[in-house]
Amino acid sequence: MGIDLCKLINLQKIADPRGNLTFIEGGRHIPFEIKRVFYLYDVPGGADRGGHALKICHQFLIAMSGSFDVIVFDGKEKEKFHLNRSYYGLHLPPMIWREMDNFSSGSVCLALASEKYAAVDYYRDYNGFLRALAETK
């Protein structure tokens, strides 16, 4: 798995004068079935989130309101994605270190996950993540 698998995915936007609509179907619009949904909100100015990698879980992040940056690292390359619209999101495959920062006031990050929460799926220690990457090579 490499950084090239971290992709922005445009979602269908159905425009209507009464308000726009966007929908997501797991396995159709995003490359996994959805088993968990969570969201981040009320992130204080200057705070960051993430700081981990997942062993088997895929995630799809959407800026439902406001904006934020997602910095991804695969052990070799680093890339920053700016999320600021509710009709596209960022697919994060397993074994990608992610950090999130630059949250605007009132921002909400929706996360769709391929797995139910399991603490053992997380690399929360950066050096441990790098060691695990080296072992898989």
Query: What Å distances lie between residue 119 and 50, 55, 65, 115, CA to CA?
Result: 14, 10, 28, 11
Strands (DSSP E) found in 55-134: 59-65, 68-73, 78-83, 88-92, 97-101, 108-113, 122-123
46 — alpha (psi -120 to 50), left (phi > 0) or beta? Answer: left
Question: Quick one: DSSP state of residue 106?
Answer: T
CA–CA separation, 83 and 7 (whole Å): 12
Is-catalytic flag, 58? no
Q: Choose, from 52, 58, 82, 91, the residue flagged as catalytic.
A: 52
Residues classed as catalytic: 52
